[in-house]
Each structure stands twice: as structure tokens, then as C-alpha cells.
Structure 1
Amino acid sequence: MMTPVVDLKEIAPGIVQVTMQDKEHKNTFTEALMVELINAFETIRNTPHLKVVIVTGYDNYFASGGTQESLLDIYEGKVSFADINLYSLAQDCPIPVISAMQGHGIGGGFVFGMFADFIILGKESFYTTNFMKYGFTPGMGATYVLPQKLGISLAQEMLLTANSYRGADLEKRGIPFPVLPRNEVLSHARQLAGDLADKPRHSLVTLKEHLVSVAREQLPAIIKKEVAMHDKTFHHPEVKERIIALFGK
């Protein structure tokens, strides 16, 4: 049997931890990782006593975005990132989600983490929305969630330049969530989860639904616009050349 690339474990009463652990592919969004993440969140949705979710990675990696194969499939028009709604799993989850982003968050992997209700970064880790480095415009709701979570100025800088930032660099830029040494991120997330799990589940669900209601209403239109931008920017020969060259490094 193949080793699961997502581990789902209730680590304390009402607290479930989702650990992405595809070490072979450094937590890129392979089909296996995507399917297991979707299944994990479906299990959480159907487990009525749970109160809070922690999502984390392994060692130096949180999540690394699209695989070379998936990006080439988008280039060739075979698929769209919107075909599988991975990006808003955390936002759509009825209970609060904490992204314990202890390791690198790259491209769609960083965006995936940013949709959580609480975000914790690692000082030593790198975070980037590197879509434009490949020559195509951002997807996965990046153009919506980054301005919401980071502020317009920093979000525009990250999206347009596709530069990489250490967690410590983002902390200096004034991001509004904790940045801790990598080996302290998960313990901080568990402490926060304990604070949340002390509250009644029905109240947590009710308040989260209210807090994310506007985002849930607005995101589909943003995704539609990002797909339209992909139609304009993704299918140029330069994009294929960049995908092949950059994955070869």
C-alpha cells in the first residue's frame, strides 16, 4: 500500500491536524495530494464534534504549488486550476482553520495557506507568489486573498515581482500575523487551537460563517477573472519555456 501523503489525526478533543507529507514531491500539488486534502476536509466537515483544524507541512516545506505536469497541462489547455477547488478548502471549512506554515510556501501552496482563518509563518522559510516568474498571471484566488490578508501594497509587490520573501522579511514589513522560528510554529498553532476548542462548536461555526461570508460571495467572480487572465497569458511559447527551464533548476 502507498503511504498516505496527507495525515489526518485528532491530536486533542475537538482539534484535528492535517499534515501534508509528500516528501518525494516536496508537497507540490500532485493529484494524490490534492485528492487526499479534499478528502480530509470532507471528513472534517462530516465529523460533528470537531472544533478547529490545523494544517501544516513537514520539515522545511509547507506547500509548493503546482507540479510541472499540471502547469504544462494548463498551458496546453487541457485543464484549468479552477477545475479542482483546492484553493478555498480552508475558507469553506465550517470550523476555524489554522495554517501552521512552518516551511516554505510557494505559489499556489502559499495561497492555499493564506485562505485559513489564522496564519503562522516561519522566520527562516521562504514565501512567494511566483506565478509571474513563469510568465503567467496569478490564480487560485491569489489576487483576492493576498490583498485581504497582507494589504494592497505588499500584495501587489509580491504578485507583480514574483520575488521570494523570508518570513522574517515579511515580519519587518508589518504583516498582521505571527512569525516564529520554524520549530515553534506548530506548538503555537496547537496552543491557539486549544484556545479555540474551549468555545462552543455552534458558536465557532456561526461566527466563522459570518466573518467569511463576504469572501465566499466574492471569490467565485475573482476566480472567473483569474481564469480569463490565464486564457490571455498562459498559452504563449515563452511560458512553456519558462516552466521547463525553472523546474529544471
Structure 2
Amino acid sequence: MFSSVVRLDEAEAGIFQITMEDRANRNMFSGELIAGLRSAFAEIDANPDGKAVILTGYDSYFASGGTRESLLSLHEGRARFTDLDVYSLALNCKIPVISAMQGHGIGGGFVLGLFSDIVILSLESVYNTNFMKYGFTPGFGSTLIVPRKLGMSLAQEMLLSAGSYRGAELQKRGVPFPVLPRNEVLEHAYGVARQLAEKPRISLITLKDHLTASLRRELPEVVQQELDMHTKTFFQDEVRDRIMNLFGN
């Protein structure tokens, strides 16, 4: 047990599994979950033998984004989403990260998974970028990573409408990821991880660094643009009302 809500296991030689299991908060970004994720990725980066990471959730939840309290802190100007940079942990990890999104990916939770190098979705689960549901513009680097991973047309629809999509629907819409029955997602992730683990570590690190260079270069500017939009959209009374009345619905 790595922490009370995040487990880190070296499941096989060179393959780490990070399991998010904050059942009390349905894997929302509680302080404990964020701290556990940051510590887990730091430990992996310090390990000289790692070759692949599998990031997954529990039961029907992958990750569910910000808590109501954290959204209210943003609305009140007491915090910014950049204060604890959780969204780019997978991007900045030295070795490849596979998001085995066996469960629902909600808002920032879905974005967290998209920042991985390889993404696997489940047919049954719900995925969305629900920021605009609460009346504020998207954050977490979502305006960069969602179009990059899903394509501009689908990304614009998801970001603007804040609609929810089953994995089966996203599969029909042509998302470029495997979309499998929930009980097959983790097994498929291990198959991919074993393929990665056959390669030399230095080669994996070097290629990931090259493949993600443009994304890491662009991300800070986009995040600043998202913060600028938040100064226009997050402090509306309607946003607070929506957070209080719609959260969890």
C-alpha cells in the first residue's frame, strides 16, 4: 500500500501499476489523492529500472476531477488549478505511461488520462470534459490535450457542450484508442506494457522525450491562456450557484 488512496506496485519486472482508489470521493482530486499521485510518480522517476507505468482506477471509476470544495476555492480566488500540477504527471514521467481507463473519466479526471502516452477506454464507462456544465471555461490543459488526442471536431463538441459520452459512442466516433469491455482493459494494458518492457530503458526514455517535446513546449502557454479565461469566467455568481446545485448530478 503506497498511501491510503493510491497504491504503487511493481507488478512485473520494470512495470509499475498506480491504482487510484479513493472510494469515499469516487476518485475525485482530493488532497490525499493528489499527494498520492505526486509521490507515486516521483518514486517511479527515481527508480532506475522502470520501463512502463499503468495508471488505473477501481471498479467503475477511473478519475472524477475536482471536488466541490476545490471548485469553490477556484471560484473564490483562493486557488488556481496550477497550484498542484496533477494533470501533467503522466506527460512528465520519464517512462511511458498507459492510462487503463477502465472506469468513468470525468472532467479533469478524463484529462488526466489523456496526458498519458497510451490510452485505453472501456465500452461501458462515461467520459466527459464537463467544465462548462458549471459555467466556467476548461482548465487542466484540456484545451490542448483534448484536441490533440481526440481531434478538433470531437474535442470542440465535448468542451463546448460538456456532454457525456459512453466509450462505445466514442468508439463509433472514431477515437484512436482501444475501447474494450471494462474487464478487459487492464489485461490489455499489461499486454502493451510487456511489449514496452522488452525495449531498452534508455531508448524508451529518449523516444518518449522526443514524442512529447512539442506538447510539453506548448502546454505552459495554453495553461496560462486557460487561467486568463478563468479570470473572466470563474468568478460569476452563476458559477457558484451551478457548483452548489449541480455538483455530482
| TM-score of the pair, normalised by structure 2 | 0.98
Mapping of residues 189-200 of structure 1, within 5 Å: 189-200=189-200
* C-alpha RMSD of the superposition: 1.2
Supply the AA of the counterpart residue of 1:22.
Answer: D
- TM-superposed deviation, 1:3: 6.1
Instruction: Report what 1:159 is aligned to.
Output: 159
Does the alignment pair 1:55 with 2:55? Answer: yes
Q: Point out where structure 2 has 5 or more consecutive residues left out of the alignment.
A: none
Q: Percent identity?
A: 59
- TM-superposed deviation, 1:4: 1.2
Instruction: Report what 1:173 is aligned to.
Output: 173
Instruction: Report what 2:110 is aligned to.
Output: 110
Measure the CA separation in 1 of the matches of 2:85 and 2:238.
Answer: 27
Does the alignment pair 1:226 with 2:226? Answer: yes
Post-superposition Cα deviations, 1:180-228, rounded to whole Å, max 9, x if no partner, equal: 0000000000010000000000000000000000111110000000011
Instruction: Report what 1:208 is aligned to.
Output: 208
Supply the AA of the counterpart residue of 1:15.
Answer: I
- TM-superposed deviation, 1:239: 0.2
Measure the CA separation in 1 of the matches of 2:186 and 2:29.
Answer: 22
Measure the CA separation in 2 of the matches of 1:84 and 1:224.
Answer: 15
Post-superposition Cα deviations, 1:64-123, rounded to whole Å, max 9, x if no partner, equal: 000000000000000000111111000000100000000000000000000000000000
Supply the AA of the counterpart residue of 1:211.
Answer: L
Measure the CA separation in 1 of the matches of 2:217 and 2:201.
Answer: 23
Measure the CA separation in 2 of the matches of 1:167 and 1:128.
Answer: 10
Instruction: Report what 1:67 is aligned to.
Output: 67
Q: Point out where structure 1 has 5 or more consecutive residues left out of the alignment.
A: none
Post-superposition Cα deviations, 1:145-201, rounded to whole Å, max 9, x if no partner, equal: 001000000000000000000000000000001000000000000010000000000
Cα distance, 1:245–1:10 mapped onto 2, change above 3 Å: same
Measure the CA separation in 1 of the matches of 2:59 and 2:40.
Answer: 21
Instruction: Report what 1:149 is aligned to.
Output: 149
Measure the CA separation in 1 of the matches of 2:160 and 2:196.
Answer: 36
- TM-superposed deviation, 1:248: 6.0
Measure the CA separation in 1 of the matches of 2:127 and 2:9.
Answer: 26
Q: Is the 8 A contact 2:91 2:212 kept in 1?
A: yes
Does the alignment pair 1:88 with 2:98? Answer: no
Measure the CA separation in 2 of the matches of 1:96 and 1:132.
Answer: 31
Q: How many residues align?
A: 249
Does the alignment pair 1:33 with 2:33? Answer: yes
